[in-house]
Amino acid sequence: MDSLTVCKALADDTRLCVLLLLLEQGELCVCDLMNVLMLSQPKISRHLAMLRSAGLVSNERRGQWMYYRLDPKLPAWVTSMLQAATQGYVARMQKFISSCDNRGRPCC
């Protein structure tokens, strides 16, 4: 994983929000991200595919839903970048987290 790949992935607002939500929540399914970000399933899935190909997220199928989490093999410098990016998104992340209705988790 190189810094250019990571920076390109973080350059999109939706992808950055997805990564920060995963950092905060640990694991989310596509339906969670759809509800929180108010985007369609194809749009969310397209962004997740880009994050997966960049090596930033891993996924697991459970029934009809795909669950995503930050890749556990992320280098420490990537995690540090995401934690630093959270500082600039505090208000926005609070809005997303407050829309959760299941013990701090979105819909599912």
Tens-binned pLDDT, residue by residue, of the chain (108 aa): 789 999 999 899 899 999 999 998 999 999 889 988 889 999 999 999 999 999 999 999 988 888 999 999 999 999 999 998 888 776 666 666 666 555 445 444
CATH assignment, 3-98: 1.10.10.10
Secondary structure (3-state) at 70: strand
Domain positions in the chain are 3-98
Secondary structure (3-state) at 101: coil
Single pTM value for the model? 0.82
The Cα-based distances of 42 to 35, 92, 108 in angstroms read: 13, 23, 18
